[in-house]
Amino acid sequence: MNKAIIIIDVQNDYFPGGALPLWNAEETLDRILNCVQQAGQMGVPVILVQHIVKPEQEDVGFFIAGTFGVEIRKELLEALPEAPIIVKHYTDAFRETGLARLLDDMGIEEILICGMQTQNCVGLSAISQYASKYRVALLADCCTAPMPVVHALALEGFGDIIPVLESGQALKG
């Protein structure tokens, strides 16, 4: 299968008790886990992306190396014990990482992107110049943002550029 799912920044800092909790984070994780289960049944590989700020950026207050907040959610790691993890230091998951090389090595032509935050790392990775060689879609039900209106506006804006689909619809074809 030439399709893969990329899950971006599902890390503790974005959940209740974290440094920057997002709207609907727990429900979004549940939907991502359902998507992961469906992908596994279909043989669709999943790649995890983890944001770790550079030491000189630690004043942002989240995703700091060595903290609980920077860790990928344990539920996701338990569901995907063999998934490759790409570490990034920028909003774009492709910038200065091995993501494109990994996708190419896997023979991937289509990527389905989801995670946190819709308007930031998820959407910006989806429209990255480095992603342009792939067929790209955002999984609307598997993303979230600081508040519902930000999520909705981001999906609308990115939808002018790339397909925005529900995960069940994207995994059908």
Q: What is the Cα–Cα distance from 9 to 131, expressed in whole angstroms?
A: 17
- Amino acid sitting at position 111: I
Task: Count Cα atoms within 13 angstroms, Cβ side, for 130.
Answer: 16
Q: Which of 126, 133, 134 is nearest to 158 (CA)?
A: 126
- The C-alpha R_g of the chain, in whole angstroms, comes to 15
Model-level pTM? 0.97
**1 pLDDT above the threshold of 70:** no
Q: Check whether 15 has a pLDDT greater than 70.
A: yes
H or E segment to which residue 36 belongs: helix 25-42
pLDDT, tens digit (0-9, with 9 covering 90-100), for 138-173: 999 999 999 999 999 999 999 999 999 999 999 885
39: domain CATH number?
3.40.50.850
Residue carrying the six token digits 């600081």: 146
The H or E element containing residue 150 is helix 148-159
Whole-angstrom Cα distance, residue 28 to residue 140?
A: 10
CA dihedral 59, 120, 97, 137 (to 10 degrees): 170
pLDDT the model gives residue 172: 81
Residue numbers of the domain that contains 69: 3-172
User: Into how many domains does the chain fold?
Assistant: 1
58 by DSSP, 3-state: which? helix
